[in-house]
Structure 1
Amino acid sequence: MEFQVLDIPVPEGTNVIIGRSHFIKTVEDLYETMVTSCPSAKFGIAFCEASGKRLIRYEGNDKDLTKQAIETCNIISSGHVFVIYLKDSWPINVLNAIKSVQEVTSIYVATSNPVKIAVADMGESRLVLGFSDGFKPLGVEKEEDKKERKELLRRFGYKL
């Protein structure tokens, strides 16, 4: 068994959602979920099939994001992992809908930050050990930081 830490690309202006599912219909169901829960979003989806042909299945409405999702599935190479890259939207707009897809078993990460994944490579399969999202904290927010956070949420339209 070989332990590895892999860098997951998150291109500027995009978000990535990585999770686990259990069935070949995942890509189609996730596609339908994305277009119905946030029609303005551009996205690409890829899914690592764990048995049978063991292909990376894919769908999307944006060629570049779909290509990025396929490349990231190749990096992770763990059965039943799915990757969604999106732009013109935020994960908060689609996460609950994704979590309600029947075959989705978990979400590992949803972010625009740098991502690393720890895996154990066992030859024919890979075990996902965990993800890191962004960086370590540099301190505790002060009153001015709190004010800035609240203003940002209002600028994004998430608070009145």
Structure 2
Amino acid sequence: MDLTLKAVDLSWEDGCNIIVGQSHFIKTIEDIPEILATSVPGIQYGLAFCEASGPCLIRTEGTDSDLIDQAVACAQKVAAGHTFFLILRNCYPINVLDRIKACPEVVHLFAATANELQLVVASTDQGNGIIGAIDGFAPKGVESDSDKADRKSLLRTIGYKLG
């Protein structure tokens, strides 16, 4: 059996975030939309789930056809069974991650980001599997006092910290 590794670049709409995960059951394609609808009213998203047996289809749901198409494009590039690609608009992953992690069939989350993203994909004769994520870029240094002040200001400006 041969094993190959490759980095797969993913892309999606600027200003959106992506969550990439692994799940063990087709039920995920209905459970994640229910989680989203009850977590963030009016959420906009596209979801693609790669079925790993039977017809092995990419199953889709979402509120926006462009976001669904982008999620499908990511799923097609990676082509790994039992993975899902969720693209969010006007919502941050922090708003839904706890509930997605608590979904009974979700096994693992690889990334939740708006950064440039590469997935490390292993391939065998059986198929592909995600083994890791490269999220953004390497650190360029350690934050200064000014950088700390900027970070604290940002978190308060976007409403994730008080006063």
TM-score under structure 2 normalisation?
Answer: 0.95
The 3-state SS of whatever aligns with 2:108 is strand
* Structure 2 gaps, min length 5: none
TM-superposition CA deviations, 1:105-144 (whole Å, max 9, x none) = 1111000000001111113311212110000000000000
The 3-state SS of whatever aligns with 1:98 is helix
* Structure 1 gaps, min length 5: none
Shift of 1:4: 1.1
CA distance in 2, matches of 1:10, 1:137: 23
Q: Which residue of 1 aligns with 2:64?
A: 62
CA distance in 2, matches of 1:6, 1:87: 22
CA contact (8 A) 1:119 1:127 kept: yes
CA distance in 1, matches of 2:13, 2:61: 19
**Which residue type is aligned with residue 62 of structure 1?**
D
Q: Which residue of 2 aligns with 1:45?
A: 47
The 3-state SS of whatever aligns with 2:112 is strand
The 3-state SS of whatever aligns with 2:137 is coil
Q: Which residue of 2 aligns with 1:113?
A: 115
Counterparts of 1:120-159 in structure 2 under 5 Å? 120-159=122-161
Among 101, 104, 128, which residue is 1:102 paired with?
104
Matched length: 160
CA distance in 1, matches of 2:130, 2:155: 33
Q: Which residue of 1 aligns with 2:33?
A: 31
The 3-state SS of whatever aligns with 1:12 is coil
Q: Which residue of 1 aligns with 2:84?
A: 82
Among 72, 75, 79, which residue is 2:74 paired with?
72
CA distance in 1, matches of 2:64, 2:12: 15
CA distance in 1, matches of 2:95, 2:105: 20
TM-superposition CA deviations, 1:69-126 (whole Å, max 9, x none) = 1111001111100010001110000000111111001111000000001111113311
CA distance in 2, matches of 1:94, 1:10: 19
TM-score under structure 1 normalisation?
Answer: 0.97
Q: Note the aligned Cα RMSD (angstroms).
A: 0.9
CA distance in 1, matches of 2:12, 2:60: 18
Shift of 1:41: 1.9
